[in-house]
Structure 1
Amino acid sequence: MKKLLLIISLAAIFCSCSKQREWNREQRHQMRQDLRTYRDMVYLTDLNDVEWELFADDVAVALENDFPVYATFIEMPSVEDTVTMVVVETVVTQLEADAHNMRHLFPYRQLVAEGILPEGMSHQQIKSYYTCLAKKVDNYYNSVEQFFGTILAGNIDSTQLGTFQRQCAADFEGVVVTEIDIIETN
Structure 2
Amino acid sequence: MKKLLLSLPLLALFAAGFFGCSQSREWNKEQRQAMREALRDYRQMVYLDDLTDAEFVLFADGVANDLEGAYPVYTTFIEMPGVDDTVEMVVVTAIVDELNADAHNMRHIYPYNYLVSQGILPAGLTRDQQKAFYQCFAGKVNAAYNTVSQFFNAVLADTTDLSQIRQMESQCANDLFEWSVTEIDVVETVPAQ
State the TM-score, normalized to the length of structure 1: 0.82
**Correspondence list, 1:51-90, <5 A:** 51-90=55-94
> Residues 98, 3 of structure 1: CA spacing in aligned structure 2 closer, same or farther, 3 A cutoff?
closer
Q: Is 1:122 the counterpart of 2:137 in the alignment? A: no
- Matched residue, 2:52: 48
How far apart are residue 144 of structure 1 and its match?
A: 1.6
**2:48 counterpart SS class:** coil
Task: Tell me, in whole angstroms, the C-alpha distance in 1 between the residues paired with 2:91 and 2:156.
Answer: 14
User: Could you tell me how far apart the structure 2 residues matched to 1:89 and 1:153 are?
Assistant: 21
The question of whether the paired residues in 1 share the 8 Å contact of 2:173 and 2:179 is answered with no
Q: SS where residue 50 of structure 2 aligns?
A: coil
Greater shift, 29-38 or 104-113, is seen at 104-113
Q: Offset of 1:7 from its aligned partner? A: 1.0
Corresponding residue of 1:3:
8
**Which segment is superposed worse, 126-135 or 69-78?**
69-78
Summarize the Cα distance change of 1:35–1:154 in structure 2 as closer, same or farther, 3 Å threshold.
Answer: farther
Shift of 1:153: 5.4
Aligned mate of 1:22, from 19, 22, 26: 26
Is contact 1:22-1:68 (8 Å) kept? yes
> Is the contact between residue 44 and residue 52 of structure 1 (CA under 8 Å) also seen in structure 2?
yes
1:142 aligns with 2:146: yes
The aligned amino acid for 1:11 is A
RMSD of the TM alignment (CA)?
2.6
Matched residues in 1 for 2:97 and 2:160: separation? 21
State how many pairs are aligned: 180
Report the equivalent of 2:110: 106
Displacement of 1:44: 0.8
Stretch of structure 1 that moved more, 39-48 or 149-158:
149-158
Of structures 1 and 2, the larger Rg is shown by: 2
1:143 CA drift (Å):
0.9
Q: Against the structure 1 CA distance between its residues 45 and 13, is the aligned structure 2 distance closer, same or farther, given a 3 Å change threshold?
A: same
Deviations 1:94-121 (A, max 9, x none): 1137464122222222211221100122
C-alpha distance in structure 2 between counterparts of 1:122 and 1:97, whole Å? 25
Residue pair 1:150, 1:156 contacting (<8 A) in 2 also: no
Percent identical pairs in the alignment equals 52
Question: What do the CA deviations read for 1:32-86 (whole angstroms, capped 9, x no partner)?
Answer: 1111111111111111111111100111111111122222222222111111111
Q: 1:68 to 1:133 in 2, by over 3 A?
A: same
Structure 1, residues 124-151: CA drift from partner, whole Å, max 9, x if none?
Answer: 3222211110111111112123223444
Distance 1:102 1:7, change over 3 A: same
Instruction: State the alpha-carbon separation in 2 of the partners of residues 156 and 25 from structure 1.
Output: 48
Amino acid at match of 2:39: L
Aligned to 2:18: 13
